[in-house]
């Protein structure tokens, strides 16, 4: 039976695109921060029609299907986790990377393996941009992955990734695979004709495809400006953002999504604002959101400890992107995953050996970031990178000057273009730097405890002060965040004797008491318990539990 299934899969995709050895599957099974679970094989289709045929044969054989593109999930949602009651197959969609521009490049149709980086490049000549440009695009994150996880990102104006226009396959209650075309574009009447037309790009670039459905979070400006609201601006379980492919977390097989693109800001200005007072940053946020008509582009919070860790432990990633460009990152991440797999199997090395090697060699290379930022970090605890369009400079400057120009209390820095590029990149590499810090520090538990949270919009006490019962477990808390959205990434390097599950439970209990929501933008993956409404959403999409079972700590069994 198994030999017949394997031979049928090979007939569809070819032998080289059906991986079964542990070494060849390693980059697909292992997450960016998570280790792998059971997997029988990795299938890499070269067309949408091949993907459909693979899905059909796996569904008929009652296998578990895990759809995956770039595998950049921070919570492990795109990789297997532990054991399952049926055989699991990964379908990797990176070869399905076509992007079709429609409606004068104001919208796109993105295939499941298309990346934000490729879209960025494709939109340059139109002076337009994708939903996410900073951070996610650097590691080759997929467009569809962002939609499936309601990814938020750093760009304030665009809100969570969202669309009501998609083409997807689902398994209905009778266990039958069916294709649903909700792109509001006529591509044919049969499954084969729809997929063939998309594969060939048979869509007119001159025709205007009208729709009444949303292709982005059009209401986010009003949501984020409501600074007195007693609820978070965005979080993954928000009912308003769950719609078919949007927020599906792999419970549908998404073939394509239709999305808005955005006019690119041409005259960016960057302020670097620093303070020892969380209250001053809170006042600044509220005043800008209430008094300035247009939103800034980017407002990233950095705690002093996060800055220092980024410079010391994220230098290799910084240099790689700074010297070679972001397009090199997906390639190097794949190589890194294979090397780590080799070390994890070795009796002479531990699984973090590569982190030690990279850290050792890069510590002798000078960091390109100006020493000016080191001096500011030494003096001030809290920092904000604020990017905005020149058109609102005269509105933002007086607010920033009044609060931050007094150098004895705060600090104001108007960054030039090079400084802006470097400090933004330093912010991006913080996620990986924090992981390495926890892995190679001899005083810490090697596994970083990472929380992705959304505070209420009216919460003025946004900075965390750890209680005594938590301080004894936490070696160092590390804080960054999308400050104007009140979305924070709180990561904790724990003492060696600390139990991560117990510490996490205590932290989440405190967050529940203050009305915070979690996760905010990285989705539940295998690290968070899905809320009731999110579980119901998953069950309605996938009643037979065929796709990505166990997501959000739900049941992995076929009966549920």
Integer CA distances (angstroms), 335 to 15, 21, 23, 440, in order: 22, 16, 12, 20
Check pLDDT > 80 for residue 339.
no
Q: Alpha-carbon distance 393 to 84, whole Å?
A: 55
CA of residue 254 relative to chain centroid, distance: 17
Average pLDDT on 140-164 reads 90
Contact 73, 116 (CB under 8 A): no
How high is the pLDDT of residue 140? 66
> What gap in Å lies between CA 317 and CA 430, rounded to an integer?
9
CA distances (Å), origin 512, targets 213, 220, 516: 34, 24, 6
Report the alpha-carbon distance of residue 47 to residue 13 in Å, rounded. Answer: 9
pLDDT digits (tens, 9 = 90+) for 244-253: 999 999 999 9
CB contact set of 388 (below 8 Å; sequence gap of 6+):
268, 269, 271, 296, 297, 298, 396
- Name the percent of the chain lying above pLDDT 90: 74
384 strand-pairing partners: 273, 301
- The DSSP code for 295 is P
Percentage, residues of the chain above pLDDT 70: 93
Q: Dihedral angle at the C-alpha atoms of 138, 351, 250, 62, nearest 10 degrees?
A: 150
Average pLDDT, the chain: 91
**Distance, CA of 430 to CA of 29 (rounded, Å):** 24
Question: Helix, strand, coil proportions of the chain in percent (round to 5)?
Answer: 40, 20, 40
The CA distance from 450 to 467, in Å, is 18
The answer to whether the pTM exceeds 0.85 is yes
Higher pLDDT, 547 or 366: 547
What value, to the nearest 5°, has the Cα angle with vertex 508 and ends 506 and 513? 100
Q: How many angstroms separate the CA atoms of 436 and 36, rounded? A: 19
pLDDT for res 329: 66
Return d(Cα 312, Cα 434) in angstroms, integer: 10
Q: Which residue has the higher pLDDT, 32 or 147?
A: 147
**pLDDT band at residue 426 under the 50/70/90 scheme:** very high
- Can you tell me the distance from the alpha carbon of 170 to that of 244, in angstroms, rounded to the nearest whole number? 10
Q: CA angle 418-432-77, nearest 5°?
A: 125
Q: Within 10 A of 214 (CB to CB), how many other CB atoms are there?
A: 16
User: What number of residues does the chain have?
Assistant: 560
SS (H, E, C) 485-517: HCEEEEEEEEECCCCHHHHHHHHHHHHHHCCCE
Residue 333 binned pLDDT confidence (cut-offs 50, 70, 90): low
Q: Give 134's pLDDT tier (boundaries 50, 70, 90).
A: low
pLDDT computed for residue 32 by the predictor: 64
Nearest to 130 by CA among 246, 224, 216: 216
Q: What is the DSSP track for 131-189?
A: S--SSGGGGT-BHHHHHHTT---SBGGG-S---S-EEEEEE-TTS-EEEEEESSS---S
Query: What residues pair up with 182 in beta bridges, in sequence order?
Result: 166
Q: How far apart are CA 322 and CA 340, in angstroms?
A: 24
In sequence order, which residues have a C-beta less than 8 Å from that of residue 222 and are 6 or more positions away?
none
Phi, psi of 362 (to 5 degrees): -80, -15
Backbone angles phi, psi at 71, to 5 degrees: 60, 50
β-partners of residue 19 are 42
Confidence of residue 266 (pLDDT cuts 50, 70, 90): confident
Q: What is the pLDDT of residues 356-394, one digit of tens each?
A: 788 888 888 889 999 999 999 999 999 999 999 999 999
Residue 344 has pLDDT above 80, yes or no: no
Rounded CA separation 181/272 (Å): 46
CB 529 within 8 A of CB 505: no
Per-residue pLDDT tens digits for 208-230: 999 999 999 999 999 999 999 99
6-44 confidence digits (pLDDT tens): 999 999 999 999 999 988 898 888 776 666 789 999 999
Residue among 93, 94, 110 at smallest CA distance from 102: 110
Other CB atoms within 10 A of residue 394 CB = 9
Measured between alpha carbons, how far is 476 from 279 in angstroms, rounded to an integer? 22
C-alpha distance across the termini of the chain, in Å = 25
pLDDT for 137: 41
What digits encode the pLDDT tens for the residues 272-324? 999 999 999 999 999 999 999 999 999 999 999 999 999 999 998 898 888 88
Structure tokens that stand for 77 in this block: 């949602």
Residue for token digits 């009778």?
174
Q: What gap in Å lies between CA 35 and CA 222, rounded to an integer?
A: 40
């Amino acid at each position: 039976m198994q030999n017949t299934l394997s031979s049928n899969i090979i007939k569809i995709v070819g032998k080289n695109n059906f991986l079964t050895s542990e070494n060849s599957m390693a980059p697909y099974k292992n997450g960016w921060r998570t280790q792998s679970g059971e997997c029988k094989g990795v299938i890499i289709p070269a067309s949408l029609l091949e993907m459909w045929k693979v899905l059909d044969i796996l569904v008929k054989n009652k296998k578990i299907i895990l759809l995956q593109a770039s595998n950049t999930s921070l919570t492990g949602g795109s990789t297997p986790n532990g054991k399952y009651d049926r055989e699991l197959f990964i379908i990797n969609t990176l070869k399905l990377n076509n992007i079709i521009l429609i409606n004068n490049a104001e919208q796109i149709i993105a295939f499941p393996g298309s990346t934000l980086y490729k879209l960025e490049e494709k939109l340059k000549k139109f002076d337009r941009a994708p939903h996410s440009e900073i951070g996610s695009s650097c590691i080759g994150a997929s467009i569809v992955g962002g939609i499936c996880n309601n990814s938020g990102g750093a760009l304030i104006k665009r809100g969570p990734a969202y669309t009501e226009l998609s083409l997807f396959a689902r398994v209905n209650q009778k266990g039958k695979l069916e294709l649903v075309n909700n792109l509001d574009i006529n591509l044919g009447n049969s499954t084969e004709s729809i997929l063939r037309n998309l594969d060939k790009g048979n869509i007119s670039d001159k025709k205007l495809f009208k729709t009444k459905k949303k292709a982005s979070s059009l209401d986010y400006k009003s949501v984020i400006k409501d600074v007195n609201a007693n609820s978070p601006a965005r979080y993954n379980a928000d009912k308003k953002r769950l719609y078919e492919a949007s927020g599906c977390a792999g419970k549908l097989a998404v073939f394509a999504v239709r999305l808005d693109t955005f006019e690119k800001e041409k005259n960016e200005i960057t302020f670097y604002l620093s303070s020892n007072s969380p209250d001053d940053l809170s006042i600044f946020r509220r005043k800008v959101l209430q008094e300035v008509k247009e939103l800034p582009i980017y407002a990233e919070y950095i705690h002093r400890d996060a800055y220092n860790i980024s410079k010391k432990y994220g230098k290799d990633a910084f240099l790689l992107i700074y010297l070679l460009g972001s397009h090199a990152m997906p390639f190097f991440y794949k190589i890194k995953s294979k090397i780590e797999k080799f070390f994890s199997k070795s009796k002479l090395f531990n699984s973090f050996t590569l982190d030690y090697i990279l850290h050792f060699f890069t510590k002798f290379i000078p960091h390109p970031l100006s020493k000016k930022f080191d001096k500011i970090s030494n003096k001030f605890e809290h920092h904000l990178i604020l990017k905005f369009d020149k058109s609102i400079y005269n509105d933002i400057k007086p607010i920033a000057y009044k609060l931050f120009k007094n150098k004895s209390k705060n600090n104001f820095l108007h960054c030039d273009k090079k400084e802006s590029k470097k400090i933004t990149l330093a912010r991006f590499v913080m996620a990986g730097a924090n992981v390495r810090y926890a892995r190679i520090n001899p005083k810490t538990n090697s596994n970083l405890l990472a929380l992705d949270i959304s505070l209420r919009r009216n919460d003025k006490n946004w900075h965390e002060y750890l209680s005594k019962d938590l301080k004894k477990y936490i070696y160092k808390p590390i804080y960054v965040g999308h400050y104007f959205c009140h979305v924070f990434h709180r990561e904790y390097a724990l003492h060696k004797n600390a139990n991560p599950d117990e510490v996490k439970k205590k932290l989440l209990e405190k967050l529940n008491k203050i009305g915070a929501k979690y996760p905010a933008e990285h989705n539940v993956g295998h690290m968070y318990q899905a809320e009731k409404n999110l579980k119901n959403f998953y069950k309605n999409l996938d009643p037979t539990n065929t796709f990505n079972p166990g997501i959000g700590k739900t049941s992995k069994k076929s009966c549920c």
